[in-house]
Amino acid sequence: MIRIGIDVGGTNTDAVVMEGERVLASYKASTSADVTSGVSEALAGALKQSGVPANLIDVVALGTTHFTNAVVQRRDLIPTAAVRLGLPATQALPPMVDWSPDLRDAIGGHFYFAHGGHEFDGRPITPLDPDELRKIARDITKKKIRTVAVSSVFSPVNSEVERKAGEVLAAALPGVHITLSSDIGRIGLLERENAAIMNACLMDLSRGVIEAFRNSLEKNGITGRFFLTQNDGTLMDAALAERFPVLTFASGPTNSMRGATFLSGVKDGIVIDIGGTTTDVGSLKSGFPREASVAVEIGGVRTNFRMPDVFSIGLGGGSLVVDGDDGVTVGPRSVGYRLTKDAHIFGGKTLTTSDIIVAAGRADFGDRSKVKHLPPALITKTRARIMEMVANAVERTRLSPDPLPVIAVGGGSVLVDTKIGNLDVIKPKHFSCANAVGAAIAQISGEVDRVYRLSNSSREEAVADARERATQAAIAAGARADSVTIVDIEDVPIAYIPGNATRVRVKAVGELAL
């Protein structure tokens, strides 16, 4: 199988061509504002270097930050209606109650309450009222809203009411997109509802961006299957990504971590991904990023879908270096994509970490003669400050004193020495394009997050049921049945619920079935 992996970052777009487990070629292009040209350049460059005809490419896997940036920057969002099923419960905290006013205003702040929902064990709170939903639909029509997010109490346990409500609203609102929270988030009403609303308000952007990506592939003569990477390090079909753009949030750091474990062969360790502006640090567990155990904020909004536990600092290859009275300061400001114009080694006048590392003889790019004037003391102090920043970030990520290996990837990893404290640093071959490699080797996943009442079954039966559901979810998503394995099981007793209940979360992954 021949795959292309692409990672569209804020500064660069990386592309790799891989055959099996071998990297045939890699290419780095500048990310373009119009989406298409940067991807097309990276694709064309990687294909030319590899010598592989475009019509032999089986799979293209792409990771992008477009949808995360849209929420953070409050742009390209469309008015959305939030419909919550749960009356007479849940009225104390309305939808979007914890959103910042500017983001809530950007999508209109429209919300409705309706009857429905379930208890933790699947028992209904109140019956669904289709007439009530049709009345809500008439008001949505008057407001000319084209996308709706439906959430229901404990819908991950029983999604029946949420799905019936979606069917009623879809029939009453032809052409309007319906997002169901049970398709996206986990148990936890407000955070799951937030994720559904964010997904709904991105629908126009997702269609436009993914269509632009498709056009880039067609322009380069590629007819293979097209996938986007999710934030858990696995793939989803481009058609599914159009419906669920929020599942791509944080896929960039995840791709880098998956690429790091593939290139280094390390399954359990710490990954530092250094780009032009920031350094992302996270832990690998069984070859996958450790997931955040608490609600993750995106653009100031709490969500609870799967996200990697990543810590970021303002350190990169374009970070500004300032020598002041209180010592050397590195970052968080950066020249970013202007590095090749503003840095000393490229004829500019801004002192960056890249200038320091080239002057120290630790890297060979740009024109070293332009940094010969830098004082040795400044170089020493700056390198010490860089290593201090990285060491602090790594220590914050460690969960035990065990000497886990550190894998350094990303173009900016030339800033890092071979040791961080007592930890060895591995810089694998193709480290600068680990993000694109991570996209190329991504697998298919299935996940289940349910509450089981143990008065009706044993704990072992509950876990076995969750394992089977996760396995079938992976196969339904496109995984090869004989390749599916369980990579994570979480079984947490819930003490505050009567009936001896437990929450079981299982994740299964498998190879893509062609």
- The per-residue DSSP string of 242-267 comes to HH-GGGGTTHHHHHHHHHHHHHH--S
Q: What angle do CA 286, 196, 259 make, to 5 degrees?
A: 25
Query: At 237, phi and psi to the nearest 5?
Result: -60, 145
User: Which CATH number is 77-201's, of 3.40.630, 3.40.50, 2.60.40, 1.20.1080?
Assistant: 3.40.50
Enumerate the β-bridge partners of residue 320: 352
pLDDT at 305: 67
Cα–Cα distance for residue pair 325/316, rounded to 1 Å = 23
Percent with pLDDT over 70 in the chain: 96
Q: How many residues does the chain have?
A: 514
Cα–Cα distance for residue pair 487/268, rounded to 1 Å = 13
Q: CB of 152 within 8 A of CB of 113?
A: no
Cα–Cα distance for residue pair 342/361, rounded to 1 Å = 20
Residue with tokens 């292309």: 4
The runs of H, that is alpha helices, within 415-493 are: 434-440, 459-477
Q: What angle do CA 496, 501, 506 make, to 5 degrees?
A: 115
Which segments in the chain show pLDDT lower than 50? none
Q: Does domain 2-70+207-249 have CATH number 3.30.420.40?
A: yes
Residue with tokens 């360790």: 269
pLDDT at 468: 94
Q: Which of 273, 146, 290, 315 is nearest to 232 (CA)?
A: 290
pLDDT at 155: 85
Terminal alpha carbon distance of the chain: 9
pLDDT at 391: 92
Q: CB of 267 within 8 A of CB of 287?
A: yes
Q: Which of 268, 120, 235, 301 is nearest to 480 (CA)?
A: 235
Alpha-carbon 31 to chain mean position: 18
pLDDT at 498: 63
The runs of H, that is alpha helices, within 346-375 are: 353-359
Enumerate the β-bridge partners of residue 491: 504
Q: What is the DSSP string of 11-44?
A: SEEEEEEEETTEEEEEEEEEPPTTSHHHHHHHHH
Q: CB of 337 within 8 A of CB of 31?
A: yes
pLDDT at 353: 94
Cα–Cα distance for residue pair 51/34, rounded to 1 Å = 27
Residue 370: C-alpha distances to residues 272, 290, 340, 343, 376 (Å): 29, 42, 13, 10, 14
Specify the DSSP class assigned to residue 402: S
pLDDT at 294: 64
Cα–Cα distance for residue pair 336/331, rounded to 1 Å = 11
pLDDT at 4: 93
Q: CB of 176 within 8 A of CB of 200?
A: no
Contacts 24+ apart (CB under 8 A), 169-173: 169/83, 169/133, 169/136, 169/137, 172/133, 172/134, 172/137, 172/138, 173/137, 173/140, 173/141, 173/148
